[in-house]
Amino acid sequence: MKIVGVAACTVGIAHTYIAQEKLENAAKKGGHDIHVETQGTIGIENPLTDEEIDQADVVILAVDVKISGRERFEGKRVIQVPTEIAVKSPNKLIEKAVEIAKNK
């Protein structure tokens, strides 16, 4: 399965990158392709391409703040959670994403 996501916390430093790492590790452990963009104090890093978004089965937004470019995900299955969920329960979040994507 192909997953894309955005991680962004209120301060834009620690939790943003921790959430990205946890989601990437959990997805890879489950055998899924994932690309997570971060939006923080230094701007957008690891930006998602239009092609990655088009091919994605599901979008995970682990965000505590308003993100830029949310309209890119119109028409996609989107799960939005606080970064804390991605940090504390990344495996369950990936399982939920898989379940949602399968129930198209």
Burial class (CB in 10 A: 0-12, 13-18, 19+), 71: exposed
- Alpha-carbon distance 86 to 15, whole Å? 9
| The one catalytic residue among 3, 4, 6, 9 | 9
Q: Residue 10 corresponds to which tokens in the numbers above?
A: 């209120």
> In 3D, which of 36, 29, 30, 84 has the Cα closest to residue 56?
36
Residue 12 dihedral angles phi and psi, to the nearest 5°? 85, 20
Residue 89 known to be catalytic? no
- Catalytic site positions: 9
